[in-house]
Amino acid sequence: MLIMGNEHTAAVIGTAVKEVACEACGTRYSYLATREGSAAAFSPYFLFESSAARSAQKKAAADAEKQLARACDVVPCPACGLVQPAMVRAGRRERHAWMASVAHGLLILFGAASIVAASVLFAHGPRVLRQSVQVWAAYAAPGVLAFGFWAGRRALAAGYDPNAADRATRIHEGRTRVVDWVTAGGRRGEEGESGWRW
Q: Which residues bind Zn ion (CB under 5 A)?
A: 22, 24-25, 27, 77, 79-80, 82
Nearer to Zn ion, 31 or 110 (CB): 31
- Rounded to 10 degrees, the C-alpha dihedral 119/120/124/130 comes to -130
- Closer to Zn ion by Cβ: residue 30 or 67: 30
Rank residues 71 and 75 by Cβ distance to Zn ion and give the closer one: 75
Least Cβ distance, residue 167 to Zn ion (angstroms)? 11
**Smallest gap, in angstroms, from Cβ of residue 37 to Zn ion?**
31
Whose Cβ is closer to Zn ion: residue 37's or residue 174's? Answer: 174
Say which residues have a Cβ less than 8 Å from residue 41's Cβ, sequence separation at least 6.
Answer: 7, 8, 10, 52, 53, 55, 56, 59
Least distance to Zn ion from the beta carbon of 163, Å? 11
In the complex, the smallest distance separating the C-beta of residue 83 from Zn ion, rounded to whole angstroms, is: 10
Beta carbons of 38 and 60 less than 8 angstroms apart: yes
CA distances from 100 to 112, 137, 151 (A): 18, 23, 10
